[in-house]
Structure 1
Amino acid sequence: MKTMDKNLLIELNNYNVGKIKVSHTKNSDLALQNKYIFFPGFDIVEFPEGINWNYKHNHAAGTYQIYLHCLTIVRNLVNSYLMTKMDVYIKKAREIIIQWMTSSSNETYYSKNSSWRDHSSARRMKTIIYFQQNSPEDYKIDENLFEELLVKHCDFLSRKEFYAENNHGMMSDEGLLFLSCYLTNESLSNLYRQTSVLRMERMILKLFSSKGYNLENSPEYHRVTQNIASDFIKLTKY
């Protein structure tokens, strides 16, 4: 991870936390029993012998796949560690990340599962950064492996073939800009930063009217895209 001023690291970590209050939830305790809730309101899914990254839910296979690969449960476990200071939670979070990193199902951008999709990739790497920043030294991912994973996620999010000209593209841009802040290679960092800014400028011109309204005329869609754009603007200041 890039060496940064301590205050900047804190600001980026606070940005990564977002608007959700850091708290200990039952989801973390369930995860210790290999029972997982990928997202609030989802069914409990049990993997007694390691996570099946190709898992398909009976009624919402695509949605469950995306949130499984977002590694939201890792963020829950990190939050539980921060609230309780119990190593068991951060140890489990690390275990899940390692499982994801070493699974042959997640190796290629063209995997049949949802490991490499715009939404899951951006969310996942932000979560892994959250883990890396808030874990004790003994549990952190090896720096070389972390950097390799970070570069791979930036590469994926920057590629035109995986970029969607809609709100998902905006998610990719916000994620790419955030990830670029942590790259040790300054040239790569600047390249990905420039890529994300240029694409986001184009998307804002495409999706919003001159009065700032989303051209889809959907209140929910407007809220989502406006929030992503606002977050992106905040990130450009770092």
Structure 2
Amino acid sequence: MSGSTETKEKDWIEFDIKEPHNQEDVFKGDVSNISEGMIYYFPTTNEIDEEHVQQSDLMLSGKLKLSNSHPEVETILPPDWENNLTGSQNWLFILHSLRWLEIPLNAYRYTKNEKYLTFINSVIESWIEGNNPRKETSEMAWRDHPTSYRLRFFVYYRSVYTKIENFDESFDRKLLLSIYQHMLYHNDQDNFHMKSNHSLEMIGAILSASHHYKNVFKRADEFFSLSVKLLTEYLNLNFSEKGYHFEQSPGYHWYVLKRLILINDYLDHYNISVGTIVDLIPKILRANRMLMKPDFTFQTIGDTQKIDMKNQLRFEPKETSFILTDFEVCEESGYAIFRDDQSLTVFRCNNFIGSHGHSDFLSFTHYSHETDWFIDSGYYTYNKDEHREYFTSSFAHNTVIINGKSGKPNDKKTELVFNNHNDYVKAGRYLDSGTHERSFQKVAESDYIINDIIRLNERGKVEQLFHIHPSISIKSISKNVIELENQDGVTCYVTQLNTIGTWEVIKGQEEPYIQGWYSEKFNKKVPTFTLKYVANDKESYLLKTFIHFSSCPLMDETV
């Protein structure tokens, strides 16, 4: 990506907030001459109550709980910024984002007790002193995502802090100069990874901060112009023509959509026009609904948690109307969607991995009868460990493993084929060991036939995987039929129509390899059944699988 000159690109590192002679070109006016009004993304909640006070008092006593996904730790606050007390990269990210300081800020908003502001000041001052970018700092101190959170919080916090009667002008000066340093960071295009939602967070942060301080900082207009340019570039790079996001996780599709709506509201509030965002948001809203189950939650595809999506309705303009089709294929983003008022099936039909995508090419998920039946195993953690490796691999998805190897995002894909009768799609990949093509055909309301055609260069082993939701019970009916039953007594039969292998069932296994786990919430996993149909010692295979919802199984080998 093109950027400014080398000197400009790294001026955020060189900038020294302690040296007055380095600040002469920073300000153009009175520091109180700010653009009052809306601040992007803050306040994050207006529901302040006694709970914030209780949480803050625990924090002030040295009990730090950064989020509901992480344990409480006892530590001296302000913390040691390089000490990862939990071993979690996500915990360290939240620590450096300083977004946990929203809790004592809300306690102040609720009580007007300035002890909470004194505490926040001490933490901010400690962070500034302990994380000079010219020195060795924590890996999360100056990363894109925590830095954008911190900038937004600093801008909002200063708007609250400077309204108290006797605020500390020396601290305020330091905070203001740190805000400027953060803006310089956001003006360095080397810090943007434009195919990641982190860049959108950065764009929103610098767009609002530069507009907020347009009468204070000499370079504010320059920062704002860059943010608008990058916003347009981000939108062009990260969405398909139909509005599907390329990060390959419906949960992040929603995450990005919320931020875009907030940015658009901000722009609209100040009568700032960025045409691309206005045109794209309705498409994204529709795509979001296409990926939503009838119960208004997402399937756990990629890095997606179970989220109640009813809140999306409040983002949809009243005049918005969607045409939601029964069948839609978007090759660019890799979704083939079969849906109606009672069911949703998503087949992954393109082979690439976005920032939050998994090795799930040719996998599928299925919801019907108010039940998740065939699931993506979820994501569990962002730590780079054996569990993250499993949850993102083909072994955690409903696809075919060939010779014990997970699929790769750079495997060349075969031609995508689908018909206009809303019932058939076929995709495939070329492997070092041969080819694998999978066709997925809807034959009844919730019934499907899956054909896996595998041609190998030499004899090999194939393992067809089906990951079942923990609420489902299973039992073997015959050598080729497995029965699934939900809690309401609805039955689904998985039938192998060419009996060339054997069924195996794995649940909650850690050794000799990880298999049979499900995660619908961050840092939480539960055992679940993985059905594995295994066939050996052939050069070519036709696995013909019938997924059939009925009161009785199909026992013969023809459909």
What TM-score comes out, normalization by structure 2 length?
0.39
- Note the C-alpha offset of 1:151: 1.1
1:160 to 189, 212, 218: 189
- After superposition, the C-alpha distances for 1:148-182 in whole angstroms (9 at most, x for unaligned) are 11110011122122111211111110111121123
Q: Which residue in 2 is equivalent to 1:35?
A: 63
Contact 1:39 1:72 in 2 (8 A): no
- Note the C-alpha offset of 1:68: 0.4
Q: Which residue in 2 is equivalent to 1:229?
A: 260
- Note the C-alpha offset of 1:99: 1.2
Q: Which residue in 1 is equivalent to 2:179?
A: 150
- Note the C-alpha offset of 1:16: 1.2
CA spacing shift, 1:38–1:45, aligned 2, 3 Å: same
Q: Which residue in 2 is equivalent to 1:65?
A: 92
Q: Which residue in 2 is equivalent to 1:200?
A: 231
2:253 maps to amino acid: H
For 2:77 and 2:255, how far apart are their aligned partners in 1?
37
Matched, 1:107 2:132: yes
2:58 maps to amino acid: L
What TM-score comes out, normalization by structure 1 length?
0.86
Matched, 1:209 2:235: no
Q: Which residue in 1 is equivalent to 2:153?
A: 127
Contact 2:203 2:227 in 1 (8 A): yes
CA spacing shift, 1:121–1:99, aligned 2, 3 Å: same
1:174 to 199, 204, 210: 204
CA spacing shift, 1:17–1:56, aligned 2, 3 Å: same
For 2:32 and 2:239, how far apart are their aligned partners in 1?
35
Matched, 1:55 2:83: yes
Contact 2:60 2:77 in 1 (8 A): no
Structure number with bigger Rg:
2
Secondary structure in structure 2 of the residue aligned to 1:121: helix
1:76 to 103, 106, 110: 103
Secondary structure in structure 1 of the residue aligned to 2:142: coil
Kindly report the root-mean-square deviation, in angstroms, between the aligned alpha carbons of the 2 structures.
Answer: 2.3
Secondary structure in structure 2 of the residue aligned to 1:65: helix
Contact 1:80 1:89 in 2 (8 A): yes
CA spacing shift, 1:178–1:140, aligned 2, 3 Å: farther
- Note the C-alpha offset of 1:111: 2.9
Secondary structure in structure 2 of the residue aligned to 1:11: coil
Matched, 1:191 2:222: yes
Identity %: 19
The alignment covers a number of residue pairs equal to: 231
- After superposition, the C-alpha distances for 1:92-114 in whole angstroms (9 at most, x for unaligned) are 111111111122xx100773331
For 2:69 and 2:49, how far apart are their aligned partners in 1?
17
- Note the C-alpha offset of 1:46: 2.2
Secondary structure in structure 1 of the residue aligned to 2:212: coil
Contact 1:77 1:93 in 2 (8 A): yes
CA spacing shift, 1:42–1:133, aligned 2, 3 Å: same
For 1:132 and 1:80, how far apart are their aligned partners in 2?
16
For 2:81 and 2:48, how far apart are their aligned partners in 1?
27
- Note the C-alpha offset of 1:58: 3.6
Spell out the pairing of 1:18-33 with structure 2 (5 A cutoff): 18-19=44-45, 21-24=47-50, 25=52, 26-33=54-61
